[in-house]
Amino acid sequence: MNESTHSSGPVARFRPSAWVTDVFTGVILVLAAFAPSPDDVSGVSGTPVITVLSLLAVAIILPLRRRTPLPILGVCVAAAVLAPLWAASTIGFLLATAIAMYRVALVTTRRTTVVSTAIAIAILVGGILVTGVVGWQYARLVQPAALLAVAAAIGDATRNRRAYIDAITERAIRAERTRELEAERRVTEERLRIARELHDAAAHQIAAINLHAGVASNALPDRPDDAERALEVIRASARSVLGEISALLRVLRSTPLAADAVVVEPVVNLAALDDLVEEFERSGLRVTKRIAGDFTQLQGAVSIIAYKVIQEGMANALKHGADAAVQVDVAIGDDLVTVRITNRVRPQAEIVHADLGRHGLIGMRERVESVHGSMSAADANGRFILTATLPFGTPAMVRHRSAGNAVGGPGA
């Protein structure tokens, strides 16, 4: 672990550079050569000069503790054990041993720290007893042992504190990243929803405008009455598109609190199917409608999505159909509604029309799957058949039916 300047969190924690720390440590160790030895040993021939040189050598190798903490600890312990034989003071050697022990506790595990501390204390105390520099004064043995134990405890506590801070920082970074991903997901979902709403609001109207613009252009020289009727349809479709887009933009531009106060038109469902058919017929599409079942059984999202599927299917028939005709079949059972839209397609438009990658069909599939339904599109003998199956009833029934389809398939 690097002991250089480290920043954790918004406020940087100042730490001196490694070389500054090493120089300061060396000065302290050299000054310790002139301190009186707690051993108070008589007969030792060491002088402060020899002690200074010895401590200077220890100070030179002590920075290596950052890369090899355990070997440097062993060297310091050996120097502290043998120092009383030639040095006038042993305080500096004990301080160097404590610094090395602190480094070991800082960068290793607690188990390694405990074992290293026990071995270092045993060697240090045993060496002092063997050399006989303190005789049987056991109180003097407690001092180096306590110094090493305290150094190990401080190093272990510092390591735990740094690990705790790193864990908190990592959790904060992950939480921030999760919030960013969640925000991106919500933005993406909202963009898809807006795209679906815009497509539903304008697709078939713009298709009608495009169709009748061509009719008006062809009929204008010889059939002005037909051209006038086509232009009237264009004007009506354009007004409808502008109104729907304006209502959507009012909601998008409003604040979240003010959005509730924005007046928008009610959401349409299968109850408005006749109006939808009349609108497409005015645009020039011949619609054959067959209904089996009671609309009153359908409520909420299922009725709305069924309406949207029919709307998109007829819009596709108006844009890509070969004969401007479409057949709409709606079958409502006890707990299932099936919508099927069939129309003829031009040969050059078959691939485009049947492509499930089209934006309209993607939006339909997403809507259908949101209520645990299924949708398919296929070409058969020049006819494009769009089928959507929507379950309805209680949520428990829908979940049970969806689970059964997932396990056994529709025919299980």
Q: Edge to edge, what strands does the sheet with 325-332 contain? A: 286-292, 325-332, 336-344, 383-391, 374-380
Q: Which residues of the chain form CATH 3.30.565.10?
A: 267-406
| Amino acid 272: pLDDT | 83
Whether domain 267-406 has CATH 3.30.565.10: yes
| Distances from the Cα of 237 to the Cα of 205, 303, 325, 363, angstroms | 5, 25, 19, 22
- Average pLDDT score over the chain: 76
Query: CA 217 from chain center: how many Å?
Result: 54
With the CA atoms of 45, 48, 52 and 55 taken in that order, what torsion angle do they form, in degrees rounded to the nearest 10? Answer: 50
Pairing of strands 336-344, 374-380: unpaired
206-227 pLDDT, tens digit each: 777 777 777 777 777 777 777 7
Q: Is the pLDDT of residue 124 over 50?
A: yes
What is the DSSP-derived secondary structure letter of residue 345? B
156-204 pLDDT, tens digit each: 999 999 999 999 999 999 999 988 888 888 887 777 777 766 666 666 6
| Amino acid 71: pLDDT | 93
Contact 120, 101 (CB under 8 A): yes
Residue 311 corresponds to which tokens in the numbers above?
A: 């709307």
Contact 254, 240 (CB under 8 A): no
CA distance 283 to 317: 12
Residues with Cβ within 8 Å of residue 266, at least 6 apart in sequence: none
